[in-house]
Structure 1
Amino acid sequence: MKVVGFAGFSGSGKTTLVEALVKRFVQKGLRVSVLKHAHHRFEFDHPGKDTWRHREAGAFEVLAASDRLITLQRRLPEPQELGVPELLLMLDPAADWVFVEGFKQARLPKVEVWRASTGRPLCYPEDAQVLAIATDSPQQLPQPAPAAVLDINAPAAVADWLTDNAPKFEYLP
């Protein structure tokens, strides 16, 4: 499987870019998984639903399955930040690509997503794992970029760049 990180600050366009890339890769017949970092407490279950009630009763894991969707909730014994390697092990190894959104500090090859309009700093000057910058403001990059500067508004070109550079993203646990 190939694994690529998409790093950048909130509001930079990571989710929009990843969504467009997932669609393009799936149209090519590839299996894509997404690993998304959540910086805050999030809840996708609803009070009163059976799965919520089982979890609230203290179940360690609750697996809900239908003929179209499986969802697994696992209670962590205490607050902890699982790393990308541990989380990747939870995904189906049959995926062709895994797009990792967030996890800026993860040690994996990345595409940094940056818009000058956010006023946020860049990661690439300090992170040798950034192989490309996807931006709408290439003329405003404060120093020479790594290997590639990609147009964030041209997801087809970003997809082509990823495909052309696929060996750089081969994941070996």
Structure 2
Amino acid sequence: MKVFGIAGWSGSGKTTLLEKLIPEITARGLSVSVIKHTHHDFDIDKPGKDSWRHREAGASQVLLLGSQRWALMHELRGRPEPTLEEQLSLLQTVDLVLIEGYKASAVPKIEIHRPAHGKPPLWPDNDSVVAVASDVELADCPLPLLPLNEPAAVAEFILAHLESA
């Protein structure tokens, strides 16, 4: 599977861009999966629901299944967070896996950079950043600059980059 990342500081627009990229890429006939990395504690379950109660009782894994989707919840219970490679091995084979986050991974990625947010760019210290998507011109950036608000152009860049790799 080909893997490509979207990285940037919190609030830069990673999720919004991915939300627009997925239909651009699937419209070209490719299958896409997403891995989102977060540093925040999260729970897709709801307190009091059966699956939540099973986890609270100590189950290591709970698979929730319905007629429209299924979800596998895995409790780490103090064990280290799995690596990106371990997570990729859990996915069914698709044409492209887009990852959100994983700034330090060696996966090629586009950085979303908005100078108005006051955060430094990642690209000067991150060799895996192959392009920058922004809503303004960045005169000092030596990498390809992509228009953040044009997801078709960003999708074209990603697919062309993966094709040439």
Please report the TM-score for the alignment, with normalisation by the length of structure 1.
0.89
Distance 1:129 1:96 in 2: 20
Deviation (angstroms), 1:144: 3.1
Q: Residues 107 and 129 of structure 1 are in contact (CA less than 8 Å); yes or no, is this contact kept in structure 2?
A: yes
Deviations 1:71-127 (A, max 9, x none): 0011113152322111111111x2111111011111111111111111100111111
Aligned to 2:123: 124
2:15 is equivalent to residue 27 of structure 1: no
Instruction: Report how many residues are paired.
Output: 165
Deviation (angstroms), 1:41: 0.7
2:125 match: secondary structure: coil
Task: Rate the CA distance shift 1:79–1:41 in 2: closer, same or farther, 3 A.
Answer: farther
Aligned to 1:91: 91
Aligned to 2:145: 149
Q: Residues 7 and 104 of structure 1 are in contact (CA less than 8 Å); yes or no, is this contact kept in structure 2?
A: yes
Deviations 1:3-45 (A, max 9, x none): 1111100111111101100111122222111100111111110
Q: Flag structure 2 segments of 5+ consecutive residues without an equivalent.
A: none
Q: Residues 133 and 145 of structure 1 are in contact (CA less than 8 Å); yes or no, is this contact kept in structure 2?
A: no
2:55 match: secondary structure: helix
Aligned to 1:3: 3
Q: Which region of structure 1 is more displaced relative to structure 2, 70-79 or 113-122? A: 70-79
Q: CA RMSD in A?
A: 1.4
Matched letter for residue 152 of structure 2? A
2:35 is equivalent to residue 39 of structure 1: no
2:106 match: secondary structure: coil
Deviations 1:131-158 (A, max 9, x none): 100111223x5x3322x11000100100
Q: Flag structure 1 segments of 5+ consecutive residues without an equivalent.
A: none
Distance 2:98 2:128 in 1: 15
Please report the TM-score for the alignment, with normalisation by the length of structure 2.
0.93
2:73 is equivalent to residue 73 of structure 1: yes
Distance 1:145 1:65 in 2: 48
Aligned to 2:54: 54
Distance 2:141 2:46 in 1: 48
* Structural mapping, 1:155-166, within 5 Å: 155-166=151-162
Q: Report percent identity of matched pairs.
A: 42
Q: Residues 115 and 135 of structure 1 are in contact (CA less than 8 Å); yes or no, is this contact kept in structure 2?
A: yes
